[in-house]
Amino acid sequence: MSDLNILLEKIYEKTIAVAARNAHKIPYTTDENGRFDDMTEKNISWWTNGFWAGMLWQLYGYRENELLRKIAVEIEEKLDRNLMDAGGMDHDSGFKWLLTSGANLTLTGNPDSRNRLLLAADNLAGRFNLAGRYIRAWNDGGDGRNAGLAIIDCMMNLPLLYKASELTRDPRCRFIAEAHAHTAMEHFVRPDGSCEHIVVFDPETGKVADKLGGQGMGPGSAWTRGQAWGIYGFTLSYLHTKNREYLDTAGRIADFFIAHMPESGLIPVDFMQDAECPYEDDIAAACAACGLIELERATGEERYSEAAERLLTALLENRCDLALNKDNLLTHCSAAYHDKRHNFPIVYGDYFFTEALLKLERKETFLW
Ligand code: GLY
């Protein structure tokens, strides 16, 4: 991509301005004026609460700006309220604590961050169901109705377990991550390389009871963000274990993704949606780009980095707002196909977009 350094400088300058005027917020999206909302009081346990801090840490790693560090640390400390609430802890601890505590530990060596990361990892490991060899997804009110749910997104949370094992030199967490990854290879990845979003297990016997469309269009469809979680998630499991099966699986999912990319390079919410349907998901594009870049580094297959550049160029030329009076970067994200709202800013799109652009220059901090 041309002028990448200039673009990174613009994103860095914009992020400093946005961070300064939103100093005490944990954003998820923006309002009609392009200003961040704040999840601090709305829901401190919301699964995306680590991404803004993660983006600040990525740019701190790039230029060591003290303001970015201070704000990221404040978010990490706020998340202690979540860490002390069993009902708010779920499968998404990797997203929350790798991008806050893990980043702080990597970049500053803070011992409190190590402590938080290990507590979060132990909680995630405790969600492992021995019968089905899966990490349980969402909570329920204690009636057990969600006890059998596992989701492809969880592949992105496994690095929290790998990291805990690396820090403690105790393989228990890694064994759980590998067991879940094997279950995901067997039951989530279809013969054509596409992925399920939700697999329902019988939590007592471990047998597969159902497969659901989840945030995608429906059963058997291909929710694009789920495909992106699969590409990046299996690649990360390979990077932590060097097990080639994970790399091959990531490659199969990537090949499916590339084969279904529209000419425009802009990614729909579901690859099976009608061509006229306007729903897009920039997050899927940005996350897939991160995974594809890592996949190219691991395999040497240039088609993966070429696809990543196509995705990032399409975002940059059509879906990136660098205006200083708007808090977001990406404009066309969607949480789920069946939601009423589509094509709006969501903070983790900006996180993955920034990580991917930094990767192209080899200036990212490895936070997974
Ligand atoms: N992890 C939930 C989502 O991707 O929306």
Pocket of ligand 1 (CB under 6 A): 47, 153, 215, 225, 335
| pLDDT of the residue at 2 | 65
Predicted local distance difference test score (pLDDT) of residue 55: 98
Mapping DSSP onto H, E and C, the string for the chain reads CCCHHHHHHHHHHHHHHHHHHCCCCCCCCECCCCCECCHHHHCCCCCCCCHHHHHHHHHHHHHCCHHHHHHHHHHHHHCHHHHCCHHHCCCCHHHHHHHHHHHHHHHHCCHHHHHHHHHHHHHHHCCEECCCCEECCCCCCCCCCCCCEEEHHHHHCHHHHHHHHHHHCCCHHHHHHHHHHHHHHHHCECCCCCECCEEEECCCCCCEEEEECCCCCCCCCCEHHHHHHHHHHHHHHHHHHCCHHHHHHHHHHHHHHHHHCCCCCCCECECCCCCCCCCECHHHHHHHHHHHHHHHHHHCCHHHHHHHHHHHHHHHHHCECCCCCCCCCECCECCCCCCCCCCECCHHHHHHHHHHHHHHCCCCCCCC
List the residue whose alpha carbon is closest to atom 2 of ligand 1.
Answer: 153
Lowest mean pLDDT among 1-15, 59-73, 124-138: 1-15
State which ligand 1 atom lies nearest to the alpha carbon of 153: 1
pLDDT for 294-335, tens place per residue?
A: 999 999 999 999 999 999 999 999 999 999 999 999 999 999
Average of per-residue pLDDT across 331-359: 98
73-93 pLDDT per residue, tens: 999 999 999 999 999 999 999
pLDDT mean across residues, the chain: 98
Q: For residue 197, report the distance from its CA to the centre of ligand 1, in Å.
A: 10
pLDDT digit string (tens) for 38-73?
A: 999 999 999 999 999 999 999 999 999 999 999 999
Kindly list the structural domains of the chain, giving each domain's residue range(s) and its CATH number in brackets, ordered by start. 4-360 (1.50.10.10)
pLDDT in tens, 183-216: 999 999 999 999 999 999 999 999 999 999 999 9
